[in-house]
A and B are shown apart, each in its own frame.
Chain A
């Protein structure tokens, strides 16, 4: 008869740079239940909205997380713009789209590196992050920042990218594509990599729906759901199909993210070809009154930004439902029945961002 034991996992663990604790109930080496514990570094950023001018709060919103900082700031702005009835210039929409997709490539490359590091493939980790560095360089060139960009404001953008800069970025992406194909080919075809991912942590389509999975974690279980298709920013002018897989395991999640890197490059090319000339911001007067929930597709999945405004410079409520928060319950489902040795990989395959979750 097998013996049950409880193994504490985290909050500090070599493969998790951020604090997340799980109590793993094991039968021998098999996980039968996992109880999560978060909240080690909860910052209460949402509460600050009651004391910061709604224009200044953009800087707080983009500090929710260092990976999705652009999208946090942009989504907050879009929610307030919607309440105030502000129509931003078309060029600003395209700029937002380009920076969003650069964020997605950067995030997915970061994740690929962390995954390689988790199963001990250090050269693959280094190659992934070497390529990610090029994206950070492009961010630095276009915004002045590598982590926090501060280019969003209510009414548009604070900075423009001139057309020669956009063209130079397209040249960099063209050069990167060859390296990316080689790199991602190893992730998708190498026997050692596949032995750690194939059939590990399967989430069925029904489980994905029932437990509220989002993003690549959801799409890898066969659900065609991507908020970009709703057309925020300039996505309405972009041709894109959600990338899915029907397998639902850790390998499928890797496939989806790898394909999304190439899809993002394609979206940037489409946006660069269509970006109109003109202003990149409009003046905004008055204070917002009303409420709106903005939903966007972050690299990790659907994120919801709820803003409630009362007609003064302070808002009543700002609430973010981050993708990682939504992905924790379905992740616990994938842990059930897995081997203890696969737990770090499984946690990584949802691409957890505790910084977002502890907003």
Chain B
């Protein structure tokens, strides 16, 4: 049976934690954002075998988040999505679409309403 673990981290320690997971043999499974009051709750999920480990941190609307795409190469795709839909500013992505990964009618459409 697969196990799931949730670990709260500070945004400042994100790269360090991601590097530890990479050297521990983890792969990137997914990254997602959830809108919370005045910010976003980011969940980065990593897998080893069938087990799952989530890194969780919350950032304010203008907080810069450093990309982990130089540690986990496919991360740039998820980071561009989070940037385009939620407006989370992510710096140093290995491929930066500059807000053009999704051609949405309005900019950052998922940023609009805070959670109910």
Count how many chain B residues have C-beta atoms less than 8 Å from C-beta atoms of the other chain: 33
Q: Tell whether, in the assembled complex, residue A306 and residue B50 are in contact, meaning their CB atoms are under 8 Å apart.
A: no
Contacts A44-B104, A329-B77 given; indicate if A304 touches B30 (C-beta within 8 A).
yes
Q: Tell whether, in the assembled complex, residue B101 and residue A39 are in contact, meaning their CB atoms are under 8 Å apart.
A: yes
Contacts A39-B103, A293-B52, A310-B116 given; indicate if A304 touches B29 (C-beta within 8 A).
yes
Say yes or no for B95: interface residue by CB 8 A criterion. Answer: yes
Contacts A230-B1, A329-B74, A330-B74 given; indicate if A50 touches B102 (C-beta within 8 A).
no
Q: Tell whether, in the assembled complex, residue A306 and residue B32 are in contact, meaning their CB atoms are under 8 Å apart.
A: yes
Say yes or no for A173: interface residue by CB 8 A criterion. Answer: no
Interface segment among A57-65, A104-112, A129-137, A319-327: the answer is A319-327
A297 to chain B, nearest CB (A): 11
Q: Tell whether, in the assembled complex, residue A210 and residue B73 are in contact, meaning their CB atoms are under 8 Å apart.
A: yes
Say yes or no for B24: interface residue by CB 8 A criterion. Answer: no
A49 to chain B, nearest CB (A): 10
Contacts A293-B4, A306-B43, A329-B77 given; indicate if A212 touches B34 (C-beta within 8 A).
no
Residues of the A chain whose Cβ atoms lie less than 8 Å from the Cβ of B76: 329
State which size class the interface on A falls in.
35 or more
Say yes or no for A7: interface residue by CB 8 A criterion. Answer: no
Residues of the B chain whose Cβ atoms lie less than 8 Å from the Cβ of A227: 50
Residues of the A chain whose Cβ atoms lie less than 8 Å from the Cβ of B68: none
> Nearest residue in B to A328 (C-beta to C-beta)?
B77
Q: Most B CB atoms within 10 A — which of A35, A42, A302?
A: A42
B50 to chain A, nearest CB (A): 5
Say yes or no for A316: interface residue by CB 8 A criterion. Answer: yes
Q: Tell whether, in the assembled complex, residue B103 and residue A42 are in contact, meaning their CB atoms are under 8 Å apart.
A: yes
B59 to chain A, nearest CB (A): 16
In chain A, positions 291-345 with a C-beta closer than 8 Å to chain B are 293, 295, 302, 304, 306, 308, 310, 312, 314, 316-317, 319, 321, 325-326, 328-330
Q: Tell whether, in the assembled complex, residue B45 and residue A293 are in contact, meaning their CB atoms are under 8 Å apart.
A: yes
Chain A to chain B: the 6 pairs with minimum beta-carbon distance, closest first: A39-B102, A329-B74, A321-B30, A212-B74, A317-B34, A319-B32
